[in-house]
A and B are shown apart, each in its own frame.
Chain A
Amino acid sequence: MSGLTFRKKAEPEERLDLSPLVPARLAGLAAKDIAALPIGLTRRGLVVDDVFTIAGDDPAAIRFEGGSHRFDRIGEAMAAGDITVDGDVGVRLGRAMAGGTITVNGTAGDDAGSAMAGGVIAISGDAGDRLGGPFAGEMTGMKGGTITVGGHAGARAGDRMRRGVIAIAGDAAGDLGSRMIAGTIVVGGTTAATPGRLMKRGTLFLCGGVDHLAPTFLDNGPADLLILKVMADAFAEGAVGPVPFAGKMMRRLGGDTAVLGLGEIFLPI
């Protein structure tokens, strides 16, 4: 058996809902049934066959050859298996996923990893706004799992995050970790104003410094904590990989005292 492959025929003229193309929903379906699945978002009623050429037969390992910023909801609610995208993806990548792995060799739109509960999302390029956050009206964002971003992340990454890890190699845009409840975010590049706004608990490692911090974060001084080494070692062995704060002293700040104030931000010294 070879991995099930969806080869893009041409750039789609409308956004596509690719949430049906996850391992659990494709298992046991014949190629002609997969080709007939509706994925369009307009009254035209596009199906898989209108956009993709299908090859392979193993739904546990799905590959998209060619991406698009209109390929929405890839890997939504998936619980196991692998999805690889050679190209860009649209919004809500891996939303509410519970397990498995999604690898994107390109950029991702808004709401990637929104409310995910487990599994791994690896994005080689940039990610849009609200990475690992809640969707409109939801009480919590990411509840578990790991997200890695090779490029930059948009505004409010980790909003209302409750558990899990987000690692951003590049810069983070405004209001990183807003309203965070728990969990860990590591940023390699610089972080725009104002990280951790209204965070109750949780940990932000801002390894490239920060533009502006709210006055409701208080400096606790340099920290050469054993836990930093333990975390760095654990990240290096897992899905996150080596982190920039490994082996370094960091300055610890506590906040946001506007709310509970039990969150922490680590900055380079």
Chain B
Amino acid sequence: MDRAWIDGQPATSDEALDAAAKLLADAVQPFVGGLRTDVAGLRAAFALAKDLGAIVDHADSATIEPFLSALRDGGAFLAAPAEMRRRADRVLVLGDEPATIGADLLTSLSTSEPDLGVRTRGSGRQIMVLGTVAGPVEGHDGVTRIDCASDDLVDVVGMVRARLAGRPIGEGPLGGTTIATIAEFVAAAGFGCIVFSPAEVGALGSEQVFGLAADLNAETRCSTLPLLGSDNAMGAALLSTWTAGFPLRLSFGRREAEHDAALYASDRQLSGAGEADCAVIVDALADGAAAAAPAVALPAIVLAADPAAAKAAQIGFAVASAGRDHDSILYDSRFGSFVGQTAQESSELPTAAAILTALAERLGGRVADAA
């Protein structure tokens, strides 16, 4: 079985590593992206990026950027799903995306009852959905849905906040009576929980939702469960923060990490609109849930679990899939933390971490000379 390719032709790993090292040593501004791998792969990718002075981003970071931005700017009440399952007596679900990316969570909340805390134990659970679909919980006992378009959510949450604070409200997408119903629903909670997708409402909208939770905590208790489109991107952002001091989208061009969410975005760099002139792309997950891969306008070194993707690159390596072919540590939002995952299959393929580390070792001297 072929494991490495140069311009689509099979090569030995050594030949491909040599070619990749030369490509990177000659580049002025390398980019290290994709980052769809486990913690070991991320560590190796960051070490390589630091050596190279590269720009770094995750393929799916656009889906978590609104959450990170709101969290950093205004703070947030955040909960873990397991805790909300046991504590929340009232759940407000905002928008249509939770029905798809949070289907398991909604089902779990609608089929359980709070059993912790004197305020909520034994009081049952009510779920209110503000959206055009309730997905898996449509028609369940204790579930009500109020029709609300995605585009109107941020306005509606603003109206609820104004209502709760006793400030006036103008004409909006929902009538005053409906707004009062929503406000009473969340205010009467012993422990409320708001489920939403930051990518659906945007950074400012997320701040509005976190603001509602903060307002409610003056009188009762309330927390939020933001649903992220990509757990893997969140894991990469966390690792980036403890490694470089910033969440994703940064550059090691001047050795010290510099953060800029717009300049160092993956799409901008890979499309050729940015400054990168060579890319290392890691796509080593089995789940196949990668966002539509952007057209890569740069010479690229691809480490992929899908051999076809590796073969199509200028220089490609077939690598093992994290969590399937080898034991891995991956971020899992169900736990709100990193979780170990045992391999389900055995594989002869090298890990992404092994290839990235071998590449960094080959480059060490040459990159230092160029600096």
Contacts and interface: CB of A to CB of B under 8 A. Distances in A.
Given A41-B251, A43-B370, A257-B169, A197 B154 contact: yes
B170 A218 contact: yes
Interface stretch (B14-22, B32-40, B254-262, B353-361): B254-262
Contacts of B162: 216, 257-258, 261
B211 A198 contact: yes
B170 A14 contact: no
Contacts of A194: 154-155
Q: Which of A42, A70, A136 has the most CB of B within 10 A?
A: A42
A178 B73 CA distance: 12
B168 A258 contact: no
Contacts of A197: 154, 158, 204, 208
Interface in A245-260: 256-259
B204 A216 contact: no
Contact of A198 (B72, B207, B258): B207
B302 interface: no
A119 B201 CA distance: 36
A258 B254 contact: no
Contact of A13 (B28, B159, B261, B370): B28
A129 B263 CA distance: 12
A129 B173 CA distance: 28
Contacts of B154: 194, 197, 214
A175 interface: yes
B161 A41 contact: no
Interface in B314-360: none
B208 A258 contact: yes
Contact of B172 (A15, A136, A215): A215
A217 B170 CA distance: 7
Given A41-B251, A257-B168, A259-B161, A215 B155 contact: yes
Given A215-B169, A216-B159, A43 B371 contact: yes
A221 interface: no
A33 to B, nearest CB: 20
Contacts of A45: 371
Nearest to A38: B254
Interface in A2-16: 13-15
B253 interface: yes
B157 to A, nearest CB: 8
Contacts of A217: 170
A91 interface: yes
Q: Which of A41, A43, A134 has the most CB of B within 10 A?
A: A43
A14 B30 CA distance: 11
Contacts of A214: 154-155, 158, 172
A219 interface: yes
Contacts of B28: 13-14, 42, 44
A163 interface: no
Nearest to A175: B204
Contacts of A156: 204
Contact of B263 (A13, A91, A134, A257): A91
B113 to A, nearest CB: 32
Given A156-B204, A179-B207, A258-B159, 16 more contacts: A14-B275, A15-B263, A41-B253, A41-B258, A43-B253, A91-B262, A110-B262, A214-B155, A215-B171, A216-B159, A217-B170, A256-B158, A258-B157, A258-B208, A258-B211, A259-B161
24 contacts: A14-B253, A40-B253, A42-B28, A42-B253, A43-B371, A44-B28, A91-B260, A110-B262, A129-B262, A156-B204, A175-B204, A178-B204, A179-B204, A197-B154, A197-B208, A214-B158, A216-B158, A216-B161, A216-B169, A256-B158, A257-B169, A258-B158, A259-B161, A261-B168
